[in-house]
Structure 1
C-alpha cells in the first residue's frame, strides 16, 4: 500500500489533483488508516495512471474518463476474463439465469423490471460480461422466438428496442479519435438481424472510431450522400444468411463505383463456412474473442495503445 505522497511522486501528479479526482468523480477509493490517512493499492495506482493518460494525452475530460474506466473495470479487455467486482471468475450459470430473467420480463412487456435486472447485471458483472454473456443471448433468443412464432411482432420489437437502447447508451462513454477513419455500419435490405453488427460496432466505437449506425434492412438509396457528407472511410456490413451474399456484394459494388478508396468490414454467419464472395479479403470470420486482435491487425496496432 502507498501513501498519497508516494503515489504523487510515482505518477508525477499533484496530491490536490488525486484528492479532487477521488472526491469529485470517485476515480479511486483508497483505504484509510485509523488516523484517516489514505492508502492506495497497486490497482488504484494503475487506474490513476490510466486516467492521467486519457486526460493529458488523449484530451478526454476527467469525468468522461472515469465513466469509461468504470464501464470497463471488470471487462474482458482489462482483465482477460469475465470477473466479478471481487476479481473472481464467474461461472456461466448466473449469466444464464439473469439472461432468462431479462427475457421473461421483456416477453411480458415488463420494461421497468427488465431495466432493473440489466442495471443489476452491469453492477455485478461489468461491461463485456453483460453484453456478451447476458444480453446477446437474450437478443438471439428473441430472434428465434419471432421466427418460430413464439413471440409476436410487437413483442420482438419491444424486446429488441429496449436492449438496443441499452447497448448504445455506452456509445458516448468512449472518446473518438479524429485520426481514425469514420465508419458506417449497416445490414443490406432483407437482413433483419443486427446482433453481430451491433456488437462489432460497439467494439469499433470502444477503439476510438466514429461509428454511424444505420442498423438492419438498410436500403441503398441515400447511402452515397451519407458517405460523402460524413467522410466515411470504412463500411461495416453484416449478413446472417448465405443467400444475402450477392446482395451484400451489390452494395459493395455500388459504393466502390462512387468511392473506390472506401474499405469494408464484412461479417456474419452469411460469410462463414464454404460461402464464397469476390470480396473475401474484407471478410472477418473470427470468433468474438478474436475480434480485437483482428481489428488491430486490419487497421494497424499502432492506433490501439489501449483496448
Structure 2
C-alpha cells in the first residue's frame, strides 16, 4: 500500500489541493491518516475515491450527490461512463485507476473499448502516450510505485506485441533496424514504431532492449538495413548522449538513423548529417507517409 500527500492527489486527479480540502471537510469524501509525527497522508483507497469523484464531477455530477453514493454505486457509474465516453481524459483517468488498483481485467476492458471506438493507432497516440507521460511524471515524484508503473507498462507492451503479430503483410518495402542503447529498457515507443513500420509494408529487424554497440554494428554489417531507429529515454544520459549519437553517425554513415526519446530531445547536441532527431518516436509515422507519397 502506498501513502500519498495531498499534492500527490492533486497531481493524479487534476483537482486542486484547496478544493480537495473543502470536499474533505464539507462532504467527508476521504479521511486523511496521520503518521507518528502527525503528518497527514492518504492511502490507495483514498486515492481511488478521489479519482472516481473527479471523473464523476467532470461529467456534471454534483459533489453532494457523489458523497451520498455508495462505493458500489460510484464504481458502476464510472464503468458506465468509461464504456460510453469518447473523451480521452476519461480513458486516461480510467487507466490511472486500473494502475492504482493493479486491475488487469478492467485495464483490458478500458483499452479494448478505446481501440474499438478510436482504432488502435489513435488509442496509442491519444490515450496511451498521454497516460504514460502522466505516470512517468508521477513515478519521478514518488506518487506511484515502480511496481505499479511496471505493471501497467507490461500490459501495454503485451497489447503492442499482439498488434505487431497481427501485421502479417508482405513487408516488401525498406528494411528498418530497431534497437535500444545499452542500459535502455523503455521499450514501448520502439514497439509502437515496429507496429507502424510493419503496417506500412516495411521489414523490421528488431533487436530490442539494451543492445551492445558491438552487436549492433555486427547485425548492421550482416543485414545492411536502409534505416535505423533508436529511442533514448534514460540511457545514455548527459554528455554521453552526444557520444552515442556521434557513434551512430560514424558507424552507420550509409544509412539514415532516427533518434527519438527524452534524453535525445532535451540535450543540446550536434547532429551528424545522417541522423534525424525526432521529438517523439511517433513522428516516424509522418516519415512513413512521406515515403508512400514518394517525398522521401
TM-score when normalising by structure 2: 0.58
Question: 2:155, 2:282 → 1: CA distance?
Answer: 25
- Hey, what does 1:123 align to over in structure 2? 116
Instruction: Quickly say closer, same or farther: Cα 1:217–1:288, change in 2 above 3 A.
Output: closer
Instruction: Quickly say closer, same or farther: Cα 1:233–1:114, change in 2 above 3 A.
Output: same
- Hey, what does 1:245 align to over in structure 2? 241
- Hey, what does 2:93 align to over in structure 1? 100
Matched, 1:234 2:230: no
- Hey, what does 1:203 align to over in structure 2? 196
2:160 to 167, 179, 204: 167
1:141 to 134, 138, 142: 134
Instruction: Quickly say closer, same or farther: Cα 1:231–1:178, change in 2 above 3 A.
Output: farther
Instruction: Quickly say closer, same or farther: Cα 1:254–1:189, change in 2 above 3 A.
Output: farther
Residue 223 of structure 1, CA deviation: 2.0
Instruction: Quickly say closer, same or farther: Cα 1:162–1:102, change in 2 above 3 A.
Output: same
Matches within 5 A, 1:272-283: 272=265, 275-283=268-276
Matches within 5 A, 1:1-307: 94-240=87-233, 243=238, 244-253=240-249, 255-256=251-252, 260-272=253-265, 275-285=268-278, 291-297=284-290, 299=291, 301-302=293-294
8 A contact 1:183–1:232 mirrored in 2: yes
Residue 166 of structure 1, CA deviation: 0.5
Instruction: Quickly say closer, same or farther: Cα 1:302–1:253, change in 2 above 3 A.
Output: closer
8 A contact 1:142–1:160 mirrored in 2: no
Aligned Cα root-mean-square deviation (Å): 3.3
In the TM superposition, what whole-angstrom CA distance separates every residue of 1:56-109 from its partner, at most 9, and x where no partner exists? xxxxxxxxxxxxxxxxxxxxxxxxxxxxxxxxxxxx972111122122212322
Question: 2:150, 2:193 → 1: CA distance?
Answer: 21
Question: 1:289, 1:189 → 2: CA distance?
Answer: 22
Stretch deviating more after TM superposition (107-116 or 140-149) = 140-149
Question: 2:106, 2:173 → 1: CA distance?
Answer: 39
Aligned length: 209
Question: 2:153, 2:207 → 1: CA distance?
Answer: 15
